[in-house]
Chains A and B, each alone.
Chain A
Amino acid sequence: MEATLLLNTSMILTLTILLTPITLPLLSKTFQNSPLTITRTIKTAFLISLVPMTLFMYSGAESIISNWEWKFLMNFKIPISLKMDQYSMMFFPIALFVTWSILQFATWYMSSEPYITKFFYYLLLFLIAMLTLTLANNLFLLFIGWEGVGIMSFLLIGWWQGRAEANTAALQAVLYNRIGDIGLILSMAWLALSMNSWELQQTFTPTQTPTLPLLGLILAATGKSAQFGLHPWLPAAMEGPTPVSALLHSSTMVVAGIFLLIRTHPMLSNNQTALTTCLCLGALSTLFAATCAITQNDIKKIIAFSTSSQLGLMMVTIGLNLPQLAFLHISTHAFFKAMLFLCSGSIIHSLNGEQDIRKMGGLQKTLPTTTSCMTIGNLALMGTPFLAGFYSKDLIIESMNTSYLNTWALLLTLLATSFTATYTLRMTLLVQTGYTRTATITPMNENNQTITNPITRLALGSITAGLLITSFITPTKTPPMTMPTLTKTAAIIVTILGILLALELSNMTHTLTQPKQTPLTNFSSSLGYFNPLSHRLNSLTLLNSGQKIASHLIDMSWYKKMGPEGLADLQLMATKTSTTFHSGLIKTYLSSFALSILIILSIY
């Protein structure tokens, strides 16, 4: 009893502390927010959120708080209910830790911005929306959080709104998320009709759930988590400042789609069609993103495609009916991906705005802390044994190898794993090793504690998070314990093959052969030709069909063909055929009239 009370109290306390930068300036006249106060708020909230997590780890206490119903209809209740289960209680400290590090980094990174407090406000609002999404026990509250993170993503990507590409990217993010929202609203409507509730506890059906609402949920996850088909917004979202990319588009917002599928996994678990869709979609996304990442030259785009690839891997895990493993991958991924973005931000500022890896090199000597942490993050990403990524990634590949599911998806995922190693090593070699190719005078320094502390903190998290989480959380499904040696070491072997490929490619760049465009590199560089095809074809067909409907269907068909002109045409046709019938001999006609009248008169 006391455990639940302490749990509820500490969670509500965490949320209240997070809301203080918004409520305190309204209550007190002299209180001014600053980036420092907001960072301290998040740090306090993180420390307090460790209480529920440790409670859960040691006593397994979970709870659902439900208050204030919105009496919408008589028999349809929408309460504000918060679910503290293992997912939300584990996610809170991790998200708050990552956010704290990112905000501390952003106090240095964005220090030359005029409106830095507004920036921190936006990040705080985003965090609140994301935590609402994780805590929600019903789909209504989840939808509020879902839309909230979408709006904040728009505002933050288009932070420098004078830049045309930033506005385009923000618009792309909003539109692609909207297409996903269609799926979410469809599933919510089906749930409201059939289960008469939006609570997650009511979504479980003992028989097979119909495929349509599940496809709606998968569409929502495709939009929010940038799976193949609705993915272009994620690389474009790199137009935003680096703290935005680190927080939203690597650790927290893009996992919202996967989180939705984890929350609703009782519905998914008995419908094999939906699970197979998840599996194949995830496998396709992970391979596509990894292929595109190999030839990218912008450091942020490489990390963005890496995020996209890992999201595909999380979708694959959902398709294998292992939601807890997907959540583990979300947690470990948050650490090393945020750290990679922070390291890239440090490098970019040190090189005075240079983001192209062709103009970086030899940074291992000049930025030792940043590049060492970057190496740790890259090793964790590749799934090096016993770093954070290993515990989730290796388990996913083992489970996939030992399950009797789609071989095609398995092969794609293994190929994507090797490509992960390839582009990671390419990035490392071009950024950190060799002679420097940067400009001659750069403001390169790591002297500020606000840079090195967050990065080293996250590095510590990248190393230990996997071990800590797996040691303390009991798995809900037994992982496969025995398998052939080749299956067990498949991930490592494939990673090593990827490393060898990267070394071979870098050897080729050193030899004196003229590089050329080839179809493969062209496919990878232009991101699979997806962007021009979908963006232009879609708008072209829409405008064309609009023109046809407006001018041809309405004007020409209704007003002309069905109306006057059509009638006139019919008349014309009739008259043309019947013109040749009469020959114009009037005297003969008159005499025939007279004759027939005479005959009729003579009969009567």
Chain B
Amino acid sequence: RGQPKMAAYLTHQQKVLRLYKKSLRHLESWCIYRDKYRYFACLLRERFDKNKDVKDMVKATELLKAGEEEFWANQHPQPYIFPDSPGGTSYERYECYKIPEWCLDFWHPSEKAMYPDYFAKREQWKKLQRESWEKELKQLEEETPADGPRTEALPPARKEGHLPPLWWQYVTRPREIPM
């Protein structure tokens, strides 16, 4: 509830905040020791706060442009990237172990017989998915505007006894770190 709507363009506030966070992260990559980082972070914050109340959009945009250019000139060549973020050392490391769930259907019956209760339960889940698929599609078709969806968020279930649309993809998603 109350989630921000993504539009096609960024507001000025969003751009300034993104520049601030970017420059703080690169400052953290430069100033390894925490006290030095805190000192320069406070200086940076003061520079941003000085122009906080500029009401003239032209001047504000010029300040932002100058700030972006200064960031580009002073950025760190090897910025610190968290291991699980894109570009980090563990990113997508376990992607090769994330197999889709429909591979279970291709197991040999002798292998399936090793886990009989799991596969029996799975048959019930698949039956549920087959029954609710039409209703999910109908709900999505009704709720999507004519010129395409506005956001990536899926709507919740509206009627009693219905399941949220595309719930199967969410429920059968692979683990983050495989066993």
Contact = CB atoms under 8 A, between A and B. Distances in A.
B is bound to A: yes
Given A353-B90, A525-B78, A509 B96 contact: no
A503 to B, nearest CB: 15
Interface in B95-128: 95-98
Contacts of B32: 358, 430, 437, 509
B74 A516 contact: yes
Contact of A162 (B31, B77, B78, B98): B98
B97 A162 contact: yes
Interface in B132-179: 177-179
B92 A358 contact: no
A354 interface: yes
A160 B95 CA distance: 8
A161 B47 CA distance: 45
A526 interface: yes
Interface string B5-37: 000000000000000000000001111111010
Contacts of A514: 30, 40
B61 interface: no
Contacts of B39: 512
A162 B36 contact: no
Interface in A5-30: none
A515 B31 contact: yes
A522 B75 CA distance: 11
B58 to A, nearest CB: 30
A356 B80 contact: yes
A147 interface: no
Interface residues of A, number: 32
B46 interface: no
Interface string B82-99: 011000011111111110
Given A434-B33, A435-B34, A437-B34, A358 B95 contact: no
Given A358-B32, A517-B74, A353 B92 contact: no
Nearest to A434: B33
A114 B179 contact: yes
Contacts of A512: 36, 39-40
A162 B33 contact: no
Contacts of A160: 92-96
Contacts of B93: 160, 162-163
Nearest to B28: A358
Interface residues of B, number: 32
A298 interface: yes
A434 B91 CA distance: 29
A315 to B, nearest CB: 28
A358 B80 contact: yes
Looking at chain B's contact residues, the main secondary structure is loop
Contacts of B177: 112
| B84, B93, B98: most-surrounded residue (chain A CB, <10 A) | B93
A515 B30 contact: yes
Nearest to B90: A353
Interface string A68-81: 00000000000000
A526 B92 contact: no
Contacts of B34: 435, 437
A209 interface: no
A536 interface: no
A203 interface: no
Given A162-B98, A437-B34, A510-B36, A355 B89 contact: yes
A162 B96 contact: yes
Nearest to B84: A353
Contacts of B83: 353-355
Nearest to A437: B34
A54 interface: no
B77 A525 contact: yes
Contacts of B90: 353
Nearest to A301: B78
A10 B159 CA distance: 78
A296 B80 CA distance: 11
Interface in A158-201: 160-164
A517 B89 contact: no
Contacts of B80: 297, 356, 358-359
B26 to A, nearest CB: 11
Contacts of A509: 31-33, 36
A573 B93 CA distance: 67
Interface string A517-529: 1000110011000
Contacts of B29: 358
Interface in A328-361: 353-356, 358-359
| A162, A354, A437, A516: most-surrounded residue (chain B CB, <10 A) | A162
B94 A162 contact: yes
Contacts of B98: 162
Contacts of A356: 80
Contacts of B76: 517
Nearest to A357: B32
A326 B50 CA distance: 62
Contacts of B30: 514-515
A81 to B, nearest CB: 41
A297 B78 contact: yes
Contacts of A164: 92
A162 B89 contact: no
A163 B92 contact: yes
Contacts of A295: 77-78
Nearest to A164: B92
A17 B34 CA distance: 54
Interface string A414-441: 0000000000000000100011010000
B174 to A, nearest CB: 11
Nearest to A511: B36
Contacts of A516: 74
A33 to B, nearest CB: 20
Nearest to B43: A514
A114 B97 contact: yes
A254 to B, nearest CB: 21
A522 B36 CA distance: 22
13 contacts: A112-B179, A160-B93, A160-B94, A162-B98, A163-B92, A164-B92, A358-B32, A435-B34, A437-B33, A509-B32, A509-B36, A512-B40, A526-B77
Q: Which 8 pairs across A and B sit closest by C-beta, in order of nearness?
A: A162-B95, A162-B96, A525-B77, A353-B83, A515-B30, A163-B92, A160-B93, A353-B90
Interface of A: 112, 114, 160-164, 295-298, 353-356, 358-359, 430, 434-435, 437, 509-510, 512, 514-517, 521-522, 525-526
Given A162-B95, A510-B36, 5 more contacts: A163-B93, A297-B80, A354-B83, A517-B75, A522-B77
